[in-house]
């Protein structure tokens, strides 16, 4: 179920009326759902542009179409148009769009990968880096391989011990240690070259 506030409906209705295209509606879809980059997209949709399998939500003065492959990701979404001082802002909150964290009963590998993709890598991306899970041992030792700006970075050891290891051990019960499997000497574009971090 998608909740569209009265102010959002009034906003969309005004935009649809301004376009003056018969049957024009608004299409909502999930972009890269289930990933940290997931986002919701809103766009006008003429009847000829619809695939025919969209879910239709009747609103006052227009129809909101939800792309069929986005329905599960957008379930529970709230669309609002909030007036703030002299302006206004359209907001879409879709709590399921990035996926849901695995349950405690999920495998250690699944839980580690989830935290890496949804919490750690978005932070590393700020420096053009990322880390991928190479292996998780039965003893709970996580082996990572750094890439991008983290590959060859002089701060990779600090990032590993003070950031990633602490995060994984706090968020994923069963993780006992985190190790680096990267050959940092082969890094070609480190965020901070080795030797300059001393």
Question: pLDDT tens digit string along 146-163?
Answer: 988 888 887 888 888 889
* pLDDT confidence band for 53 (50 / 70 / 90): very high
Task: Please determine whether the domains at 3-93 and 108-186 fall in the same fold group of CATH.
Answer: no
Q: Positive or negative CA dihedral for 157, 162, 167, 169?
A: positive
What is the per-residue pLDDT for 139? Answer: 95
Q: Are 25 and 16 in contact (CB under 8 A)?
A: yes
Q: How far apart are the first and last CA of the chain?
A: 54
State in words which class domain 108-186 has: alpha beta
pTM greater than 0.75 = no
Q: Are 102 and 114 in contact (CB under 8 A)?
A: yes
Q: Are 152 and 190 in contact (CB under 8 A)?
A: yes
- Number of residues that make up the chain: 198
pLDDT at 37 over 90: no
| Beta pairing class for 141-148 and 177-180 | parallel
Domain coordinates in residue numbering, the chain: 3-93, 108-186
Q: What is the CATH code for 3-93? A: 2.60.300.12
Contacts with 20 (C-beta within 8 Å, 6 or more apart), sequence order = none
Q: Are 47 and 65 in contact (CB under 8 A)?
A: no
In the chain, the percentage of residues whose pLDDT exceeds 90 is 61
What is the per-residue pLDDT for 195? Answer: 64
Q: Are 152 and 193 in contact (CB under 8 A)?
A: yes
Question: pLDDT tens digit string along 109-149?
Answer: 999 998 998 889 888 888 888 999 999 999 999 999 998 88
pLDDT at 196 over 60: no
């Amino acid at each position: 179920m998608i909740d569209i506030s009265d102010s959002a409906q009034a906003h969309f209705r005004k935009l649809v009326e301004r376009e003056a295209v018969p049957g024009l509606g608004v299409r909502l879809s999930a972009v890269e759902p289930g990933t940290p980059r997931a986002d919701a997209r809103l766009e006008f949709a003429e009847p000829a542009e619809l695939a025919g399998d969209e879910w239709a939500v009747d609103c006052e003065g227009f129809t909101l179409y939800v792309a069929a492959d986005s329905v599960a990701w957008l379930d529970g979404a709230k669309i609002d148009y909030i007036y703030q001082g002299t302006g206004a802002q359209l907001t879409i909150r879709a709590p399921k769009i990035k996926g849901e964290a695995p349950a405690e009963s999920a495998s250690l590998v699944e839980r580690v990968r989830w935290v890496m993709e949804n919490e750690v890598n978005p932070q590393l991306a700020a420096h053009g880096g990322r880390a991928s899970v190479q292996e998780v041992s039965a003893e709970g030792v996580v082996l990572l391989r750094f890439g991008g700006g983290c590959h060859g970075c002089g701060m990779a050891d600090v990032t590993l011990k003070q950031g990633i290891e602490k995060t994984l051990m706090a968020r994923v019960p069963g993780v006992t240690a985190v190790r680096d499997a990267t050959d940092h000497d082969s890094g070609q574009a480190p965020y901070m070259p080795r030797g300059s971090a001393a």
